Structure 1
Amino acid sequence: MANAGDITTATAHLGDAPTQEAFTTVKKYITLFGAVSAIVLGTVAVMAFTGHEATSFMWIRGAILLAVTPLIYRMTVRASEGSYKAFDRVRTLSTILPVAIIGVDLIPGLCPAWYAVLQGLSALALIAVAFITRGSALRAAFPEKK
């Protein structure tokens, strides 16, 4: 029954104003990530339409990053409702994705500078999510599992 106590404690903190404000901010940053991803994909489309360079890599990566946005957002909603598993996934993805995005952009010749800059901007939104999900308000709502 020790787990029941942990769940009750976490549930008690979920209704706190700082916790819900943190989740609201996380949702805003995830929405920003999606908006920048949509801009990236739209820019790729315009570039392709006007005869400029638009590689398969740019199309696929732009589409994938835009497609994961609603998934991450939904996980955040579930986390705000008390799902530790969803919270842990958001925390993990917001740490790994920016590293992967920026790391791949640093490979010389893989994508144009404008593409790397826009993708880097989207990564900044996820970096903010990573910091917020490790902040005191959300740590109180989701104590570390042992």
Structure 2
Amino acid sequence: MNEMTSIGDARAQEAFAAARKYVLLFGAISAVVLGTVAVMALIGGETTSFMWVRAVVMLAIAPLLHRMVVRAAEGSAKAFDRVRALSVVMPIAIIGVDLIPGLCPAWYAVLQGLSGLALVAVAVITRGPAFPRKK
């Protein structure tokens, strides 16, 4: 953040609340992805070790990202900067990997893409009017 934004500012706190909700959505979708991979494995569907590892990692990242948003709302500029960076980098990485032909089935790529969209919303929020840039 910067000197122009007060953590106690109602607009900033509303933005953080929205960001927390989108991070929770990211986590929920990540849990659905992992659950779907497990069900597919149980019924003999197509799963790979890549799908398992990535699903577990994405689910593990969700609480860490949520904690960063909470810390940012409490005034941590370092956490805020990390949330801003991760909310841009992660969707690009998620979608970029999903576009590699033959790496994962379409249903998996779609679900992972949805989780990435939740983080795009966080990127938009953390760059929105609640957090003006210094000039």
- The bucket for the TM-score relative to the shorter chain is over 0.9
1:104 equivalent in alignment to 2:77: no
Higher Rg:
1
Distance 1:50 1:87 in 2: 42
Higher helix fraction (1 or 2)? 1
1:1-146 equivalence runs, <5 A: 9=3, 13-139=6-132, 143=134
Distance 2:44 2:107 in 1: 16
Deviating beyond 4 angstroms after TM superposition, the runs of 4 or more aligned structure 1 residues are: none
The alpha-carbon deviation at position 136 of structure 1 amounts to 1.7
RMSD of aligned Cα (Å)? 1.6
Distance 1:15 1:139 in 2: 15
* Percentage of pairs with the same residue: 65
Distance 1:101 1:94 in 2: 11
Structure 1 alignment gaps of length 5 or more: 1-5
The total of aligned residue pairs comes to: 135
Over residues 5-40 of structure 1, what are the superposed CA-to-partner deviations in whole Å (9 max), with x where a residue is unaligned? x97x46x61111111000000000000000000000
Structure 2 alignment gaps of length 5 or more: none
- TM-score normalised according to structure 1 size: 0.88
Contact 1:133 1:139 in 2 (8 A): no
- TM-score normalised according to structure 2 size: 0.95
